[in-house]
Amino acid sequence: MMRWLQSGPAVARGAPATAAANEQSCRGMALALRRILKQGARPEVLDLGQFSRSAAIYLASRGARVCVEDFAPPPPTPRLKPGAKSIAKPVISIPQPDGKFDLVLAWEHVDFVPPDRLGDFAAELSRVMLPGGWLILFAEDRPGTKGSRPDRPACYRLTADDRIVRSPTTGPERPRWAHPNRAIERALSPLTVQSIQLQRNRIREFLVHKREKPS
Amino acid sequence: MSLWQKPEHDRPAPSESPSSSAPTVPQRDHKSSSPATIGQSVQIEGELTGQEDLIIDGKVDGKIVLEGHHLVVGPNGRIHAEVHAKSVQVSGEVSGNIVADDKVEISPSGSVLGDITAPRVALADGSSFKGSIDMGSKPRQMSSSSSSVNRDVPIAAGAIKH
């Protein structure tokens, strides 16, 4: 059955009954929205979620100008062949100008970025963020596990500023890593991780801030 | 009688007034319920303006202005244009910015590459969209050229190719 992702009150209140059980709080998102929406100006939001268009519509209905981009995480860097002097790494690129966005929603992309590319991914996110801007990341929490496993990114839907519904998607599977907190924080530097919230479905929500430039 | 001359009875009877000899052009009733349609084989390059609802199943390259009216881009429609209408429903492909006074809907088969400015936006599961969504501001006016169009003409296009 076709499901329309409607703007306005339908998104804020109209969660299907089955989704109510999957609804959970997202305090980091609520805090970021409170900060950017209170400024009075119309905040710029970048939504990198291929499956999270309804979140984009929700945020647009809250007064933000939402830019939607499909982002494909890079494959792992190939090993250096014997005799070769260099390796061509796939470029991680978000086709948006520097310092444009008050809020960047990267959803679960970080889990699909290989460990050796986390720094490049974080640098690209930081590049498009406005000084003083915010970043939201979601990452699976699987302590003690090593390596990747095939999985699909989830679909996220905002039902309120502090309520979110995560649901599975279909499509091709990709390798998924469970990066430890320390690895993500290190990759995001010099961005500041303000909070990490562990949700009841073992998903961590990272709220990240980019410092204002000293005047 | 010449071979090339028609017999008298084949000739049309002389008309009583010059006006009655002109071919009659069916006038579209703007109030009629069926909207105008641009068929699959029609390709338009230029500016397209109108004062009635419009369905596009062909190709349009340029600019579309239907102020106060509904635009439907059918499954075969291929639009490469700036669009301004009261409401826009996309089941085909649109490449260009869409400004709607009321709402924009993208169907499961629809694809939009461009920015959407409308108070209400609906994206169906399976639809393709890349660009930005702006629902907070009043739809901005199109450039001044749209105000100079002849509003009595339902559709004014630069060039029509079949």
Is B50 inside a domain boundary?
A: no
ipTM: 0.76
Determine the pLDDT at residue A2: 45
CATH 3.40.50.150 fits A19-72+94-209, yes or no: yes
Q: Is the pLDDT of residue B139 over 50?
A: no
How many domains does chain B contain in total? 1
Q: Is the pLDDT of residue B138 over 80?
A: no
The secondary structure of residue A61, as a DSSP letter, is H
B106, B129 contact by CB (below 8 A): yes
The secondary structure of residue A3, as a DSSP letter, is -
Determine the distance in angstroms separating the CA of A11 from the nearest CA of chain B, rounded to an integer. Answer: 10
Top mean pLDDT of A148-152, B26-30, B32-36 is at: A148-152
Determine the pLDDT at residue A80: 76
- Structural domain harbouring B123: 59-135
The residue extents of the domains of chain A are 19-72+94-209
Q: Where do the H-state alpha helices sit in chain B?
A: 18-21
How far apart, in whole angstroms, are the C-alpha atoms of residue B130 and residue B152? 36
Is B87 inside a domain boundary?
A: yes
Interface test with A, best of B125, B127, B128 (most A CBs within 10 A): B125
Using an 8 Å CB-CB cutoff, list chain B residues near A57: 121-123, 133, 135
Q: Residue A107 corresponds to which tokens in the numbers above?
A: 């959803």
Is B22 inside a domain boundary?
A: no
Using CA atoms, how far residue A52 sits from A43, A88, B121, B123, in Å, is 19, 31, 14, 11
Is B71 inside a domain boundary?
A: yes
What amino acid occupies position A156? Y
Pick from A56, A62, A53, A54: which is nearest to A16 by CA?
A: A54
Q: Would you call A82 helix, strand, or coil by DSSP? A: coil
Q: Which residue is it, tokens 């007034």?
A: B17
Is B112 inside a domain boundary?
A: yes
Q: B46-101: per-residue pLDDT in tens?
A: 999 999 999 999 999 999 999 999 999 999 999 999 999 999 999 999 999 999 99
Quote the radius of gyration of chain A (alpha carbons, Å).
17
Quote the radius of gyration of chain B (alpha carbons, Å).
21
Determine the pLDDT at residue B28: 53
How far apart, in whole angstroms, are the C-alpha atoms of residue A38 and residue A164? 21
Q: Is the pLDDT of residue B39 over 60?
A: yes
Phi and psi for A42 in degrees, rounded to 5? -85, 110
Smallest Cβ distance to A60: which of B125, B127, B134?
B134
Q: Would you call B154 helix, strand, or coil by DSSP? A: coil
How far apart, in whole angstroms, are the C-alpha atoms of residue A20 and residue A167? 11
Is B103 inside a domain boundary?
A: yes
Q: Which residue is it, tokens 């009954």?
A: A17
How far apart, in whole angstroms, are the C-alpha atoms of residue B2 and residue B5? 5
| Residues belonging to chain B | 162
Q: Is the pLDDT of residue A16 over 90?
A: no
Q: In sequence order, which residues have a C-beta less than 8 Å from that of residue B68 and are 6 or more positions away?
A: B51, B86, B101
Contact B131 A54 (CB under 8 A): no
Q: Is the pLDDT of residue A32 over 80?
A: yes
Cα first-last separation, chain B: 41
Q: Is the pLDDT of residue B149 over 50?
A: no
Contact B105 A4 (CB under 8 A): yes
